């Protein structure tokens, strides 16, 4: 148990550190958080490690509290690793001694404390306001759900969008940008960088690949191996590396046994679920109206940020098409439930909102005479299946409209589409 003096030192240093943290660029999602913060509910910021949750807390401290009248605790600090839920009273008493009586808590990485939800519920009932962060979807939803049902709102924090990336790079974006030759050229250069580098804030700032490697290693070792007591770390890493090398390709848990030295399909599924719980990957199903068939059909995986893919995968050939498809998926996930479609032909993505398919999307680097028929057939089959009047083919840098009977197919560069669809619907 940490001594009272050491605890005071820790809490003072943590507060000083968070207040000295740069505000950074204002994230698009901040408006949504501010809107939800007006509710009495606990505001839970979840998302990948180092994706900007603490910076968002910092921005809220400044904008809503003028850097005062709140408590801040970070349980990412190793000095507090041995704290238990029953020790929260000691922390609270120490905070009152140091900073007087306040009614708002900002708490980072709260999932590191077992049974934290009991403390939050007790103080919530006394009308305290909470902003908390965590990096595990399952842990937060399971523990908060038991004691705080109906009393919390969740916001998923992601790496920079392309628009936020441009803001960070001090690129001025306005309605004329894409029509001016010089700014259009510069914009496309930034997109080429974003496609490979991704939008993890620290990496965008420092461009040191060790940052991304360290985030990934922390996810595997701290969030998965340590938490779930995984014995065979080598097999686990081999599975993850294979998945990231084959981003966007179809697989089944049984088929992976041919490539990975893990004999149990159930173990493979469990390991993949662990990685998904950290927000690092997303699995998508083949669309089917039958939930049972969705579960048993082949799946695909995509990575939360493009920057990780070249640094973890084993691919030696240059193939930016898979990065383009991954970038499209990341954006589409803001708009609803994403599936792939496959019958006679295949369509990369269909997007459903409120259980109704709204959009069909095909992704290819270049639309050529060689692949045009295949890409159109897959898209048109999905459009006919779901009675869609228009479809979308996203490319590296092509733009046109194709009419097929009564259907309209829009071909558009991904960089342009990303800037047209920067607001998740939940923010509008």
E strands of 260-306, at which residues? 281-285, 299-303
Regarding beta strands 281-285 and 42-47, do their DSSP bridges make them parallel or antiparallel, or are they unpaired? Answer: unpaired
| pLDDT value of position 136 | 78
* Backbone region of residue 108 per phi and psi (left: phi > 0; alpha: psi in -120 to 50; beta: other values): beta
Comparison of pLDDT for 304 and 421, the residue scoring more: 304
User: Please, what is the average pLDDT of the chain?
Assistant: 93
Q: Is 80 exceeded by the pLDDT of residue 147?
A: no
| pLDDT above 70 for 428 | no
Beta pairing partners, 279 = none
Confidence at residue 424, expressed as pLDDT on a 0 to 100 scale: 41
Locus of tokens 């089944």: 252
Calculate mean pLDDT across residues 298-317.
Answer: 92
Domain residue spans of the chain: 4-157, 162-205, 206-420
- pLDDT over 50 (residue 211): yes
Length of the chain: 428
Extended strands (E) in 91-203: 104-108, 129-134, 152-157
* CATH H superfamily, domain 4-157: P-loop containing nucleotide triphosphate hydrolases (3.40.50.300)
**pTM confidence score:** 0.94
pLDDT digits (tens, 9 = 90+) for 320-363: 899 999 999 999 999 999 999 999 999 999 999 988 999 999 99
Question: What's the distance, Cα to Cα, between the start and end of the chain in Å?
Answer: 47
Is the per-residue pLDDT at 423 higher than 50?
Answer: no
Contact 224, 136 (CB under 8 A): no
């Amino acid at each position: 148990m940490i001594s009272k003096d050491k605890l005071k030192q820790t809490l003072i240093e943590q507060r000083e550190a968070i207040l000295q943290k740069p505000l950074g660029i204002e994230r698009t999602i901040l408006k949504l958080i501010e809107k939800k913060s007006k509710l009495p509910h606990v505001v839970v910021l979840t998302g990948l490690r180092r994706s900007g949750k603490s910076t968002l807390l910092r921005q809220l401290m400044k904008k809503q509290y003028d850097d005062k009248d709140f408590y801040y605790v970070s349980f990412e600090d190793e000095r507090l690793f041995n704290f238990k839920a029953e020790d929260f009273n000691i922390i609270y008493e120490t905070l009152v001694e140091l900073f007087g009586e306040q009614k708002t808590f900002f708490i980072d990485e709260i999932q590191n404390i077992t049974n934290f939800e009991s403390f939050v519920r007790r103080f919530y009932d006394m009308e305290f306001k909470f902003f908390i962060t965590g990096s595990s979807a399952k842990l937060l939803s399971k523990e908060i759900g038991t004691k705080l049902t109906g009393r919390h709102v969740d916001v998923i924090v992601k790496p920079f969008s392309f628009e936020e990336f441009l803001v960070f790079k001090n690129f001025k974006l306005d309605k004329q940008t894409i029509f001016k030759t010089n700014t259009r050229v510069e914009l496309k250069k930034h997109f080429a960088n974003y496609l490979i580098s991704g939008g993890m804030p620290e990496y965008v700032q420092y461009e040191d690949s060790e940052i991304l490697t360290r985030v990934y290693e922390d996810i595997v070792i701290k969030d998965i191996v340590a938490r779930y007591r995984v014995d065979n770390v080598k097999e686990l890493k081999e599975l993850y590396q294979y998945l990231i090398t084959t981003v966007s390709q179809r697989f089944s848990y049984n088929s992976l046994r041919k490539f990975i030295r893990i004999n149990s399909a159930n173990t493979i599924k469990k390991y993949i679920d662990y990685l998904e719980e950290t927000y690092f990957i997303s699995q998508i199903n083949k669309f089917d109206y039958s939930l049972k068939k969705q579960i048993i059909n082949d799946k695909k995986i995509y990575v939360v940020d493009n920057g990780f893919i070249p640094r973890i995968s084993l691919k030696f050939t240059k193939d930016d098409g898979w990065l383009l498809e991954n970038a499209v998926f990341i954006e589409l996930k803001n708009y609803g439930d994403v599936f792939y479609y496959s019958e006679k032909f295949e369509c990369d993505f269909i997007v459903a909102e409120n259980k109704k398919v709204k959009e069909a999307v095909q992704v290819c680097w270049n639309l050529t005479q060689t692949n045009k028929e295949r890409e159109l057939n897959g898209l048109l089959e999905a459009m006919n299946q779901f009675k869609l009047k228009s479809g979308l083919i996203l490319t590296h840098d092509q733009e046109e409209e194709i009419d097929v009977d009564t259907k309209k197919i829009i071909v558009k560069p991904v960089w342009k589409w990303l800037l047209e669809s920067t607001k998740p619907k939940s923010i509008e």
